[in-house]
Amino acid sequence: MLQALREKTSGWIATTVLGLLIIPFALFGIEQYVGGRNDTYVARVQAPPTWWKSAPSFWPLIKLWTTEDISQQDFRQQFDQMRQQQRQQLGDAFDSQQFESADNKRKVLDQMIDQRVMLMATDRNGISVSDASIRKTIESIPTFQVNGKFDLTTYQRTLATLNPPTSPEVFETQIRDGLRREALAGRIALSDFVTPAETARLVNTLTEQREVQSVSVPAVADTAPVSDAEAKAWYSAHGAQYMQPMTATFEIVDGDPAKMAPAAIDEAQLRKQYDADKAKYVAADQRLASHILVAVAKDAKPEAVAAAKAKAEQLAEQAKAPGADFAALAKANSDDVGSKNKGGDLGWVAHDGGMVKPFEDALFALKKGDISTPVRSDFGFHVIQLRDVKEGKVVTFEEARPEIEKVLAKTASDKAVNAAMGVLADEAYKNPASFAATAAAQKLPFEKVGPVAPANAQGVLAEAAVRRVAFSDNLLKNKGVSDPITIAPGHSVMVHVLDYTPARQRPMAEVNDQVIADIHSDRASKAAAARADAMIKAIAGGQTIAQVAAAQSLSAQPAQTLPRGNTPTPAVNKAIFSAARPASGKQSAGKVQLPDGSWLVFAVVSVKAGDPAAFPPEMRLNLMQQIAQANGQASADGYIKAIRKLFKVTVAEDRL
């Protein structure tokens, strides 16, 4: 038998089989044979080759497809950014638990998939973004501009202050990707338009008015008995109405320095601080200055320097002439972009090195009202005007004492609170049960609060940052101690969860009275709706609304001519303006429920056509632009959906 196997696995048959195996090994590597990869993507986007758009997606042909992954790290970073944005937008209304829902995670991921699809579609269509386009886009961003012009220093400084800091290279890559994503869908969104005829129809609709009569049908109290079976059925169908919100009991330390005993500051500390900050209490002489700059490089050729000096001397002579307007000369001739448009105004200047030395020395040598001869600096030649003088003043120790005492006391309090909160954190993490004892030992403000639901939180617990941490799933379920939560500079809070009761459905016995009351209310509303339906049927049969109201012992309201939007509630507006136009001599009736549970029966008596003249030209143009933008965005969304269908998208739900 073994000999037979050897014979079968040698010769031309074995050679042929080996040859067939070598092809996939050579083309695609051996990783598929020796072991699977440990994939960590949350979404994988794959596109068939452009030269074989119908290529199958099974192995090994899937290797011909372009594959791009959205990693867990990419998703988490984007999700965290979205969380921060919503937290800033919603403030106290932000719900961290709702944001962490599976639906919300999938929504964010779908946006990332759409962006990746558009980048891949752009590449497949051979569309690229030039460096010039990126530069133009960046230079047009107002944040990077000074006096309406792009400023490189501002650009670099702004990127460095972002959270996290971003280098120009990374930012330019982000801009490039954004332009690539918008190269197709973005242009589609901008390409839509609205014709004047379409706008006219919409304006007619918006300005349409309807003559309406109405009658309110109240919900009459229901007193019929409610059976146990009916109550149980209602409770089972409406269980969400009878939920007990989650509650928790906390120990809270409010590390507010203002609530601590003020620190004692002795005389020696005060004088030491005064001596250390003496320069702060000596107001230096200041000069209110303007200048005209004739720019010339530090290493300019002699002839260029001579020409600049001659021009500066000429401007100085003009400025010194009787009745001369220095500000006008500066606006017309100065090369200093920062002060030119302000007539050369530099504001108050101290002799502290804030200006280049030749400039300061010349300025402080002038008398009030003087105009200098040209002064040379590394920037060029300055013609300086001294407009006013402010003499320096020394603030004495006694004058400065209240301010110094306040600063030192605050510093001491902040330091004491920080030290105490540090001790509390260290001890509480080791033994959460020691939270109260440690707080007392450190003389920190302490209180016990609860049981309390998130919606009813008060005091420091009502602070958005504190509430967000205190009612987080992790802290509640572990009955843990929070990190210090900063709610203001120098002011932090720590919370310890003593007890936690999850949200639960209240038992039937506990809410039986509420269930019965809700059934009575529902019956009353349905009875009122039935009366309203009967009245609508009578109106359709030819009776007037006044007649059907009288038959029900109700009073009809006088006819009103209502413009669209001028109704008690959006629901009433929608119902009235959705009703069919009445035929000649007829009325078009309908009903809508009001917030108090009653029903409004209405009859549209007549319709007055819209008046296009009610929309001024600028409002009409704005309306056209809004509609075009909405239609364009819808077209772009449709395009993205269509493109996405051509790709293969795999989502790893368990990694979200």
pLDDT-wise least confident of 24-28, 131-135, 344-348, 360-364: 24-28
On whether the CB atoms of residues 121 and 131 are closer than 8 A, the answer is no
Most confident stretch, 18-32, 362-376, 440-454: 362-376
pLDDT of 369 above 70:
yes
**pLDDT class of 291 with cuts at 50, 70, 90:** very high
Percent of all residues in the chain with a pLDDT value above 90, rounded to a whole number: 7
Better-predicted residue by pLDDT, 183 or 30: 183
Write the pLDDT tens digit of every residue in 567-584: 778 888 888 888 888 888
On whether the CB atoms of residues 166 and 159 are closer than 8 A, the answer is yes
- 259 DSSP assignment: G
| CA–CA distance, 172 with 174 (Å, rounded to integer) | 5
What does the pLDDT read at residue 24?
41
**pLDDT class of 627 with cuts at 50, 70, 90:** confident
pLDDT of 31 above 60:
no
For 608, the token pair is 């007055």
What does the pLDDT read at residue 262?
65
Better-predicted residue by pLDDT, 439 or 347: 347
| CA–CA distance, 240 with 515 (Å, rounded to integer) | 12
**pLDDT class of 373 with cuts at 50, 70, 90:** very high
For 440, the token pair is 């007392």
* CB-CB neighbours of 404 under 10 Å: 21
* CB-CB neighbours of 321 under 10 Å: 11
pLDDT of 118 above 60:
yes
What does the pLDDT read at residue 15?
42
What are the backbone dihedrals phi and psi of residue 556, each rounded to the nearest 5 degrees, phi first?
-85, 145
What does the pLDDT read at residue 311?
92
| CA–CA distance, 11 with 137 (Å, rounded to integer) | 68
How many H helices and E strands in the chain?
25, 21
3-state class (DSSP) for residue 621? helix
What does the pLDDT read at residue 91?
66
- Which contacts qualify for 55-61: CB closer than 8 Å, 24 or more apart? 57/648, 59/32, 60/24, 60/27, 60/28, 60/32
What does the pLDDT read at residue 20?
39
**pLDDT class of 30 with cuts at 50, 70, 90:** very low
What does the pLDDT read at residue 378?
85
- 453 DSSP assignment: -
pLDDT of 16 above 50:
no
Q: Which amino acid is at 206?
A: L
**pLDDT class of 3 with cuts at 50, 70, 90:** very low
pLDDT-wise least confident of 232-236, 332-336, 420-424, 579-583: 420-424
Write the pLDDT tens digit of every residue in 234-274: 988 888 888 888 888 898 888 777 676 666 677 777 777 77
Write the pLDDT tens digit of every residue in 427-438: 777 788 788 887
**pLDDT class of 382 with cuts at 50, 70, 90:** very high
Q: What is the mean pLDDT of the chain?
A: 80
This prediction's pTM: 0.44
Better-predicted residue by pLDDT, 604 or 157: 604
Angle between helices 617-646 and 196-206 (to 10 degrees): 110
Most confident stretch, 2-11, 314-323, 351-360: 314-323
Percent of all residues in the chain with a pLDDT value above 70, rounded to a whole number: 90
Q: What is the mean pLDDT of residues 432-458?
A: 81
Secondary structure of 316-332 as H, E, C letters: HHHHHCCCCCHHHHHHH
**pLDDT class of 520 with cuts at 50, 70, 90:** very high
pLDDT of 214 above 80:
yes
What does the pLDDT read at residue 363?
87
**pLDDT class of 290 with cuts at 50, 70, 90:** very high
Q: What is the mean pLDDT of residues 505-523?
A: 89
Better-predicted residue by pLDDT, 634 or 321: 321
On whether the CB atoms of residues 554 and 220 are closer than 8 A, the answer is no
pLDDT of 495 above 50:
yes
Residue with tokens 């009202």: 369
Q: What is the mean pLDDT of residues 547-576?
A: 85
Q: What is the mean pLDDT of residues 485-514?
A: 84
On whether the CB atoms of residues 531 and 552 are closer than 8 A, the answer is yes
pLDDT of 171 above 50:
yes
* DSSP conformation letters of 45-102: EEE--TT-TT---STTGGGGSEEEEEEHHHHHHHHHHHHHHHHHHHGGG--HHHHTSH
